[in-house]
Amino acid sequence: MIVNLKAATSELEELNAMFEHFDTNNDGYISPEEMKIGMKGLMDTWEYENTDWQEYFDAIDVDRNGLLSYSEFATAAFSRAHMLTEKNIDAVFAVFDSDGDGSIGVEELKEAFHGHLQNCEED
């Protein structure tokens, strides 16, 4: 019980620090521009440049007021953390690993993406 409480406290401290990182004008909200700027150092260049930031923001902005409150930010952060559990990752891996050999080959990727992969070769 105490271990869980310490972990929860640590996670909340990390979440608070992350919110403060994004909320550069310290108004208690994150604007779309603040989110985009805050994400720049957290992602690789290709992913950053190919993300539809307005769509991403709109998915998190539950009350549709154009700003993310702390609770909206926390909900999104916890939802993502919950989705990225080992159990969920294993389940997705199993979908791609259709022959169950513990690895995902090019043919399995092609099968999973219904032939939509181009220029894919085995290494």
Q: Are residues 59 and 116 in the same domain?
A: no
Structural domain containing residue 121: 86-123
Number of domains in the chain: 2
Q: Are residues 12 and 59 in the same domain?
A: yes
CATH no. for residue 59? 1.10.238.10
In this model, does residue 99 exceed pLDDT 50?
Answer: yes
Q: Are residues 72 and 90 in the same domain?
A: no
Q: Are residues 104 and 120 in the same domain?
A: yes
Task: Tokens for 88, please give them.
Answer: 């969920």
Q: Does the predicted model carry a pTM greater than 0.75?
A: no
Residue bearing the bigger pLDDT, 83 or 101 = 101
Dihedral sign from CA coordinates of 36, 62, 81, 85: negative
